[in-house]
Amino acid sequence: MKELQTEIRPQWCPGCTYFADLQAVYKTFVDMGFDETSLVVVGGIGCTGRITSYINLYTIHTLHGRPLPVALGFKLSNPSINVVVISGDGDLLSIGGTHFIHTARKNIDLTVLMFDNFVYGLTKGQVSPTSPHNLVTSTTPQGNFDEPVNPISLALVSGATFVAQAFALDVNKTFNIIKEAIKHKGFSFVNILSPCITYYRAEDVKTFKNKIRELEDQYSTDLSKAIYNSTLYHYYTGVFYKVDRPTFDENVLKGNIPLKTELYQKERIKKLLQNYS
């Protein structure tokens, strides 16, 4: 695991749930044997976007709301590469909402991990797409009047073929779910409930944790049942839906990759850079 850590120390609020999320990510990548030739991590803007600086593999920190089209480019240039998108609720469901819908419906073979902290944490706690109704934030001092986006329901109706939810502080369960999501061929979405300890004022993390329950009817292949479950289980964790369907590159590219990219090992990169020094 130490080999996956960079020299940059994680910069989140002390006690942030993202530290637990990062441990689950590290554990998954180590367990699956990923190295710099087999995995690309794409991040967006926000507190979650910092994670691209903490993982010692190929990573890219994209523009706000744009991690999915960038990830799509990586995947279609070489479908054998594992591409994992790690971003937050504001980045993926607000400015990036349209990308989320269309990447899911095309069933691009990506794994999307959303650290859902219910606010815009990096910019001081403004209301986000998943902020609960009546939540007091810096931009909703009288409470949030809007109904929140349900990420699980949105992923299901958009066409995702693997949809799950985890809780940040249960690192082992989060690790197992992320691992399953990466193994699944198709658009995989994992919403990781990660309440912001600084700006999410609806309840403290301990109270939130006590509400977490295990989803009873897991691995459903019945979309209607999965959608119904998603409307009821805000605090439930597990796999809501899993189904096999041809991916975009299987339907369209059919193995014909016009420009195949390779991920070089670090030693080869060092030698290339020496030519320019």
Domains of the chain: 2-274 (3.40.50.970)
The strand pair at 213-214 and 236-242 is best described as parallel
Q: Tens of pLDDT along the chain (277 residues)?
A: 888 999 999 999 999 999 999 999 999 999 999 988 899 999 999 999 899 999 999 999 999 889 999 999 989 888 888 999 999 999 999 999 999 999 999 999 999 999 999 999 888 889 999 999 998 988 989 998 999 999 999 999 999 999 999 999 999 999 999 999 999 999 999 999 999 999 998 889 999 999 999 998 899 999 999 999 999 888 999 999 999 999 998 888 777 776 666 677 777 777 877 888 6
| Spatial contact of 134 and 143, defined as CB atoms under 8 Å apart | yes
pLDDT of res. 256: 74
- How many other β-carbons are positioned within 10 Å of the β-carbon of residue 223? 14
Residue indicated by tokens 């369960």: 173
**Given this model, what pLDDT does residue 258 score?**
62
Count of CB atoms within 10 A of residue 110's CB?
27
Partners of 60 in the beta sheet? Answer: 42
The total of other beta-carbon atoms located within 10 Å of residue 22's CB is: 24
Report pLDDT for 105.
Answer: 97
Is 47 in contact with 18 (CB distance < 8 Å)? yes
